[in-house]
Amino acid sequence: MFLLENNLAQQIVDRTMKIIGNNINVMSHRGVIIGSGDPLRIGQTHDAALLALQHSTTIEVTKESSLSLKGVLPGINLVLQVNGQVIGVVGITGDPDECRKYADLVKMTAEMIVEHAGLTEQLQWDRRHREEFITTWINAKTNDPKLLGWAKKIDIDISAPRIAVLIRFRETHQPISLQGIRKIVELLEYPIRDNLVAVVSLNEIVVLKPATFSHGQWDCHDENRRIDSLFARLKEYEITDVDIALGHYFDGEGAIARSYESAQLTLEWGLIHQPERHKHLYEELRLPVLLSPLHKSWQGAHLCQPYQVLVQEDKNGQLAKTLIALFQHRSLTECANSLYIHRNTLRYRINRIHSITNVDPETVSGLLELYLGYLLER
């Protein structure tokens, strides 16, 4: 049963009294005044409202008949109904002959306000449950049958291919307001492109976007263009202190959780290593992002050790510079030319790198190990 609450009742009073000059009372389904142009009357029982509720009809009260009723002044009292359900009574104070001409207008206005409030509440309820579902889904490693049942109830097709995008607001002297966050959510949801949007924290929004395909392959370039378009739209709203990370597309069990995790790792790496940029794409940062979980592991520490030793021993930075050139060039000749040194000098430096790190940079595995250590140290 829909319950007419005090705040909504007073809203009906305030809005209808702007239309007519008479005092308005709104009574609950129990006949108690819960909204009135006269605050002193709130909380009183209204006998005419009780009669209207009892007989489900309009009750007109004249000056004479009001004397025999408790808490009643002359006027007209009309039953309020929403979807066939009686929820209360709206009363217009005044001569019934005068009030009768706009009684139906007041009743219609009151019922429209209630219906709109109910619809707004339903939409807010739906949004909350959708956000709760999305938050659960992006952390679900398996396709739990309960998740499928939940998705059906809120009309979300979890079999549709999607890609995770993470939006984070940078910390500034003027943090974005909740209204600003909601504005961005609306921007992401309209024009409708079947985006699933959830506010996961006070500074972060996740968007599960329908994945687009070209020749059977996920089209990263199309999503890249859409992110550029989103940045342009955000700029129109003077929202610039924001980072956007595009994850990778996955299919199979736990696909959404993996896509979300890839977006998280991409964003974290981008914020640290390319803070001057606001767009971070997994496809452009694939290797460092894949390696990033190693930072806190013993494996990562072990991979970094040879490169760290080299940097400590390399007082003038020549050996580290030479090693980076080795990463970038396929032949020793090209490497030497890029450094403007003779091949014999390059050979000497390579031997020094080998001696210091105990890793041979002229082998594929050795060069790869040094390269991974270099990436992890950045």
Rounded CA gap, 135 and 126, in Å? Answer: 14
Residue among 278, 196, 179 at smallest CA distance from 237: 179
Residue type, position 5, single letter: E
pLDDT of residue 23: 93
pLDDT of residue 175: 67
The set of residues, in sequence order, having a beta carbon less than 8 Å from that of 197 and lying 6+ positions away, is: 134, 185, 188, 189, 205, 206, 207, 208
Write the burial class of residue 186 (CB in 10 Å: 0-12 exposed, 13-18 middle, 19+ buried). exposed
pLDDT of residue 4: 83
Rounded CA gap, 360 and 350, in Å? Answer: 8
Tell me the DSSP string of 118-129.
Answer: HHHHHHHHHHHH
Domain range 6-121, its CATH number among 3.30.450.40, 3.40.640.10, 3.30.70.1230, 3.40.190.290: 3.30.450.40
pLDDT of residue 13: 92
CATH 3.30.70.270 fits 145-292, yes or no: yes
For residues 335 and 324, the answer to whether their CB atoms sit within 8 Å is no
pLDDT of residue 173: 60
Rounded CA gap, 268 and 109, in Å? Answer: 52
pTM of the entire structure? 0.66
Q: Which DSSP symbol is given to 57?
A: S
pLDDT of residue 174: 65
pLDDT in tens for each of the 378 residues of the chain?
567 888 889 989 998 998 888 999 999 999 999 999 999 999 999 999 999 999 999 999 999 998 888 878 999 999 999 888 899 999 999 999 999 988 988 999 888 888 888 776 766 777 788 888 899 999 887 777 788 888 888 888 888 999 999 999 887 666 677 777 777 887 887 766 789 999 888 889 999 999 988 888 888 888 899 899 889 888 887 888 899 999 999 988 889 999 999 999 999 999 988 999 999 999 999 999 998 888 888 998 999 999 999 999 998 999 999 999 999 997 899 999 999 999 999 999 999 999 999 999 999 999 999 999 998 887
pLDDT of residue 335: 93
Kindly report the CATH number that applies to the domain delimited by 297-377. Answer: 1.10.10.2840
Tell me the DSSP string of 243-308.
Answer: EEEE-----STTHHHHHHHHHHHHHHHHHHH-TT-SEEETTTSHHHHHHGGGGGSHHHHHHHHHHH
Question: Where are the domains positioned within the chain?
Answer: 6-121, 145-292, 297-377
For residues 44 and 66, the answer to whether their CB atoms sit within 8 Å is no
pLDDT of residue 36: 94
Alpha helix stretches (DSSP H) within the chain: 6-19, 47-55, 96-137, 145-153, 178-189, 220-236, 255-273, 286-291, 298-313, 318-328, 332-339, 343-357, 364-377
